[in-house]
Every structure is written in C-alpha cells, then in structure tokens.
Amino acid sequence: MLIDEKFSSRKKNILKQLKHVINNQETDSDITPLLTELNKKEGYVTTSSCSGRTILIEIPPKSKKKEARIIWKKHTLITFSELKEAITGIKSEKPIWFMTQPVILHVLVKDLEHAKKIILAARKAGFKKVGVLSLSGKIVVQIEGHHFISLKIMDKGNLLVTDYYLKDLVKEANNKLHEIKRFLERLIEEIKKL
C-alpha cells in the first residue's frame, strides 16, 4: 500500500471515531474549531487533544502516572465556590494536587514535509513545546502549551492552603486559561494558512 493510501485510510478511520466523540459531547468544545480546521487539511489528522483544563488529581506518593486519579476537571473558567465544593467532597488520604494544564494536541501527518509545516505554524502561534513525537511507522507531531500550574493542596485529608490562597489560585488558573484560549485562536489562524 502506498504511503498516501495508508495515510488516507488511517485518517478516514480516525475521523469516523472523532465524529462519534464530538456527537456524544465527549470532547471539550473549545478544541472543536481547531480540530475541524486542521482535519479538513490534506495530510493532517488529529489523534488526541485537550484545549487546556483545571483539575484536582489524586497522586499517590512515588506512583506511576497510571495510578493517578482525576477527581474533578473543567475545561472552562472556574469559580472559588466550584473549587471549594469539589475539595469539600474529597475523602482521600492521598495527596491531592491542583493543576492547570495546557493545550496538548497530537497530529498524525502524511510525511516529514507536513510535519515541518505544522511545527512552523505552531511556533508562529507562540507554542514552544512542539516536535515530532514518533517516526516509527507513522509520523506524529505533538503541540503543547506552556501555561501550567501544579500545586499540592491536600494531604492525609487536610487542606494545606487557606481559602484566601485558593481564591488567588482560582484567579491565576483563570488567567492561564485565558492565555491558553488565545494561543488556541492563534493556532487556528496559522493552521488556516497551511
């Protein structure tokens, strides 16, 4: 099978799965315009994505990533009352971390020329963490934002920070999410030029 045919077949299958995920509202809506714009371009198809989010996550000490458990998440701006309510419901003795995570996007590309084009587009949009993630059998480009907050806020069932600090944390997280959304908009504009 030729490379073009193999890529086209993979893209068709991935887009079928993506359509199902979007129709069932299993993806965050802020990323959908980017996915739509990129996936209509020849030579590109998104394989996974997140538009940026704020989470509370249980991370056992010295554990592997697969042992972590997300307790609460939002892909939109948060309020102090939402965060406080989520924290109040936590009954874990394990450490709980508050995180604001950046945009992350994985793109299967047809060839190295397409990889180069999307890497340059992402860099023009302001993304710093961009590169080829895989070359074995298929070429995958990863685009990741740099807007990140990570802070342990609970341990052994005890809150480690004050409400005043949580309110400030909410403000900072929302500022990061605003920045993340601006980066998404710039990336969409650069992708339109591909």
pLDDT the model gives residue 64:
67
- Of the candidates 76, 86, 80, the one whose C-alpha atom is nearest the C-alpha of residue 52 is 76
Q: Which residues are CB-contacts of 183 (< 8 A; sequence separation ≥ 6)?
A: 103, 125, 126, 127, 145, 147
- Of the candidates 19, 37, 5, 21, the one whose C-alpha atom is nearest the C-alpha of residue 118 is 37
- Of the candidates 93, 122, 96, 128, the one whose C-alpha atom is nearest the C-alpha of residue 107 is 122
Q: Residue 133: phi, psi to the nearest 5?
A: -90, -35
Buried-exposed string 110-145: b where 16+ CB fall within 10 A, e elsewhere:
beeebbebbbebbeebebeebeeeeeeeebbbbbbb
Query: Which residue type, as a one-letter code, is found at position 121?
Result: A
CATH code of residue 174:
3.30.1960.10
Contact yes or no for 25/60 (Cβ under 8 A): no
pLDDT the model gives residue 111:
93
Domain total for the chain? 1
pLDDT the model gives residue 44:
97
pLDDT in tens, 102-155: 999 999 999 999 999 999 999 999 999 999 998 888 999 999 999 999 999 999
* Tokens 């892909």, located at residue: 75
The domain of 135 spans: 3-192
Question: How much is the CA Rg of the chain, to the nearest whole Å?
Answer: 19
Query: Which residue type, as a one-letter code, is found at position 59?
Result: I
- Of the candidates 137, 132, 136, the one whose C-alpha atom is nearest the C-alpha of residue 107 is 132
Model-wide pTM > 0.75: yes
* Tokens 């907050």, located at residue: 149
Q: pLDDT tens string for the chain (194 positions)?
A: 456 788 898 999 999 988 888 888 777 888 999 999 999 999 999 999 999 999 999 998 776 667 899 999 999 999 999 999 999 989 899 999 999 999 999 999 999 999 999 999 999 999 999 999 988 889 999 999 999 999 999 999 999 999 999 999 999 999 999 999 999 999 999 999 99
Contact yes or no for 52/181 (Cβ under 8 A): yes
* Tokens 């996974």, located at residue: 48
- Of the candidates 65, 69, 54, 143, the one whose C-alpha atom is nearest the C-alpha of residue 103 is 143
